[in-house]
Amino acid sequence: METEVFEELMTTILVAGLILFMAFIVWDLAKKSKAGRYGTAVLFFALGLGVLGFIAKTIIIAVKGL
């Protein structure tokens, strides 16, 4: 496996793992602070915007390369 392919694969896998870990942290924060259903939704919405931006950037770069 070439270095570039390995780096791209590991970056994708590790960033996905980081996103899942951040989701767990937000869930735990909402649970410990007793944020309720609305507060939890707001916390996940804020995190979701960052994740959506990362995914959109990846898609835009892939489409631009075609």
Number of domains in the chain: 1
Please give the residue range of the domain that contains residue 16: 3-64
What does the pLDDT look like over 7-39, one tens digit per residue?
989 988 998 899 899 899 999 999 999 999 999
Mean pLDDT of 1-12: 89
Query: What's CA 10's distance to the chain center, in Å?
Result: 15
* Helical ranges in the chain per DSSP H: 3-32, 36-64
Whether pTM exceeds 0.75: no
If pLDDT is split at 50, 70 and 90, which confidence band does 47 have? Answer: confident
* Among the listed residues 15, 53, 47, 13, the one whose alpha carbon sits nearest the alpha carbon of residue 28: 47
State residue 48's pLDDT score: 85
The residue-averaged pLDDT of 3-8 equals: 90
Return the amino acid letter for 57: K
Q: Could you tell me if 40 and 27 are in contact, meaning their C-beta atoms sit under 8 angstroms apart?
A: yes
Query: Are 44 and 20 in contact, with CB atoms under 8 Å apart?
Result: no
